């Protein structure tokens, strides 16, 4: 039977884990990014499940450490961080609050992730997506590069206000 | 306490180990269910993971070379990003190989993925020859990436149905990443093909050089055939049609004919028979790890 204390402990652990921010996109919590997949408490042990955004995401170790530190501060000494590979992370998991935080910090949030049936279609032209400049709001933006400072971001330039900006690629 | 007079002191704190062999990286499969499907032979499955992992690892290392040497800064970053994705796939696949059959590991106290990357001799690498060649020029890099990613994408797409839950999950992530790589390489092929006389000449030369290595990508090795028959892998010969159709689309857009250069014969990379290019690459890649096992700094 789940006692009120166990429920309170789980809520406290969840709250602590949900406050941890992403090392590359510090305006987002791991929860807002959709990387935090679950928090459970069993006795004195907290198990946290996280999933990588990209296979090569170099921030996984940093995320694990930050989660362990935040939970230690909340009184949980025994923390196990588990990697959850399936289902694969999708930008559709970025919360509405996360999308607002990205835009407020000058990063264009992703559109809906591509859906398909059959083979992955080849796209030879610039990717078709609607992107709004986070500085001036114009939709007149041109792609500079599909690969930005991190794997998850593309580089754009607004042709209205001429400012460069980053866009989180749909994945 | 922080030693403010020594800028390097902070790098050695126990609480925050910075990169070195065997430290700072957590197991990429930490907490992932290690269950292995019962129908497949463990040695075969581990060898299969090494084949997919080594392809990614070796090409990642080759692509990294372009960072600071590409035509522009954006392309430096793009190819480094592609390399990072492939390195991530390699970490998962090498770690999986070690879980499935620990006998693939060289004797070492290092984490399995490091031991496999840094301590195997060339003859124990199972990558195809296409990924180990040295790029003659940027057209070479673009064509190599196109040929590789067209085939890898088709294989990974089918591998999402693997009876091995870890391989299926690695494939599902990989499909999304390699789709970006393939399209990026394809756009460059079109750009070079429809660019100047010089860019077109270099593109055609690269296609002639690398085309003979393509048959190895769809030649099923007995391990691949057995793992596929057991439901855990993909027989690469089954993607030949799909990959050929995508390449035909790219060639048409670039205004080039499908190359006709003859195959180099049956590929040997899967069995560990490589060109000297791999030995030279590994000598550099493994030098520090071999000289300073478990070094920290």
Distance CA B90, CA B49 (A): 9
pLDDT digits (tens, 9 = 90+) for B25-72: 568 888 888 899 999 999 999 999 999 999 999 999 999 999 999 999
Q: How far apart are CA B274 and CA B267, in angstroms?
A: 9
Q: Is B170's CB within 8 Å of A85's CB?
A: yes
Mind listing the pLDDT tens digit for each residue in B161-178? 999 999 999 999 999 999
How many helices (H) does chain B have, and how many strands (E)? 11, 0
Give residue B204's pLDDT band: very low, low, confident or very high (50, 70, 90): very high
> Cβ of A116: how many Cβ atoms within 10 Å?
9
Q: Model pTM?
A: 0.92
pLDDT band for position B264 (cuts 50, 70, 90): confident
**pLDDT confidence band for B1 (50 / 70 / 90):** very low
If one compares B24 and A87, the residue with the highest pLDDT of the two is A87
Tell me, what's the pLDDT at B253?
A: 98
Distance, CA of B164 to CA of A85 (rounded, Å): 13
Q: Assign B71 to helix, strand or coil.
A: coil
At A150 the pLDDT is: 83
Q: What per-residue confidence (pLDDT) applies to B65?
A: 95
| ipTM at complex level | 0.91
Regarding beta strands A78-83 and A107-108, do their DSSP bridges make them parallel or antiparallel, or are they unpaired?
A: unpaired
- Please report how many Cα atoms fall inside a 13 Å half-sphere around the Cα of residue B210, on the Cβ side: 27
A118 touches chain B (CB under 8 A): no
Contacts of residue B100, defined as CB under 8 A and 6 or more positions apart, other chains included, come to B36, B42, B45, B46, B49
Cα–Cα distance list, B200 to B145, B210, B256 (Å): 17, 15, 9
Could B169 and A85 be called an inter-chain contact, meaning their C-beta atoms sit closer than 8 Å? yes
Average pLDDT over residues B254-276: 87
What is each CA distance from B55 to A57, A107, A135, B149, B288, in whole angstroms?
19, 34, 42, 11, 22
**CB A113, CB A159: distance < 8 Å:** no
CB B173 within 8 A of CB A54: yes
Chain A: residue whose CA lies nearest to B29:
A83
- Put simply, the answer to whether A148 touches B77 (Cβ < 8 Å) is yes
Q: Which residue of B has its CA nearest to A151?
A: B81
Closest partner residue to B81 (CB to CB) among A65, A122, A151 is A151
Q: Verify whether the Cβ–Cβ distance B30 to A52 is below 8 Å.
A: no
> pLDDT-based confidence at A134, cuts 50/70/90?
very high
For A20-70, the pLDDT digits (tens) are 999 888 999 999 999 999 999 999 999 999 999 998 888 888 899 999 999
User: What is the arithmetic mean of pLDDT over B197-207?
Assistant: 98
By C-alpha distance, the chain A residue nearest B176 is A171
Return all residues near A43 (Cβ < 8 A) that are at least 6 apart.
Answer: none
């Amino acid at each position: 039977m789940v006692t009120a204390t166990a429920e309170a402990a789980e809520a406290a652990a969840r709250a602590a884990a949900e406050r941890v921010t992403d090392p590359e996109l510090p305006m987002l919590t791991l929860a807002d990014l959709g990387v935090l997949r679950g928090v459970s408490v069993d006795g004195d042990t907290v198990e946290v499940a996280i999933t990588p955004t990209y296979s090569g995401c170099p921030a996984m170790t940093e995320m694990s450490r930050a989660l362990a530190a935040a939970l230690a501060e909340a009184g949980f000494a025994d923390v196990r961080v588990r990697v959850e590979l399936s289902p694969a992370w999708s930008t559709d998991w970025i919360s509405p609050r996360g999308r607002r935080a990205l835009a407020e910090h000058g990063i264009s949030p992703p559109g809906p992730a591509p859906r398909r049936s059959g083979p992955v279609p080849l796209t030879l032209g610039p990717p078709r997506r609607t992107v709004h400049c986070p500085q001036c709001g114009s939709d007149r933006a041109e792609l500079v590069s599909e690969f930005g400072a991190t794997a998850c971001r593309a580089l754009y330039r607004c042709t209205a206000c001429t400012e460069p900006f980053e866009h989180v690629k749909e994945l | 306490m922080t030693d403010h007079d020594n800028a390097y002191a902070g790098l050695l704190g126990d609480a925050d180990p910075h990169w070195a062999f065997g430290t700072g990286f957590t197991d990429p499969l930490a907490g992932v269910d290690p269950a292995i499907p019962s129908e497949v032979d463990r040695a075969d499955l581990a060898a299969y993971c090494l084949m997919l992992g080594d392809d990614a690892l070796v090409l990642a290392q080759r692509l990294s070379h372009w960072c600071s040497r590409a035509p522009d800064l954006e392309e430096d970053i793009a190819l480094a990003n592609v390399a990072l994705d492939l390195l991530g796939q390699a970490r998962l696949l090498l770690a999986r190989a070690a879980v499935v059959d620990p006998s693939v590991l060289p004797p070492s106290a290092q984490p399995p993925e490091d031991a496999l990357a840094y301590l195997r001799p060339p003859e124990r690498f199972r990558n195809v020859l296409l990924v180990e060649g040295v790029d003659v020029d940027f057209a070479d890099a673009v064509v190599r990436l196109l040929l590789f990613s067209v085939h890898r994408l088709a294989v990974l797409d089918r591998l999402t149905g693997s009876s091995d839950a870890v391989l299926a999950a690695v494939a599902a992530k990989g499909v999304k990443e390699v789709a970006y790589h393939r399209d990026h390489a394809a756009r460059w092929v079109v750009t070079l093909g429809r660019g100047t006389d010089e860019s077109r000449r270099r593109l055609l030369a690269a296609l002639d050089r690398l085309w003979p290595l393509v048959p190895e990508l769809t030649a099923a090795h007995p391990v691949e055939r057995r793992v596929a028959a057991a439901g855990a892998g993909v027989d690469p010969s089954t993607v030949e049609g799909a990959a050929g159709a995508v390449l035909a689309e790219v060639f048409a857009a670039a205004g080039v004919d499908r190359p006709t250069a003859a195959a180099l014969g049956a590929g040997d990379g899967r069995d560990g028979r490589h060109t000297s290019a791999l030995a030279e690459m590994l000598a550099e890649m493994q030098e520090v790890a071999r000289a300073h096992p478990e070094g920290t700094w």
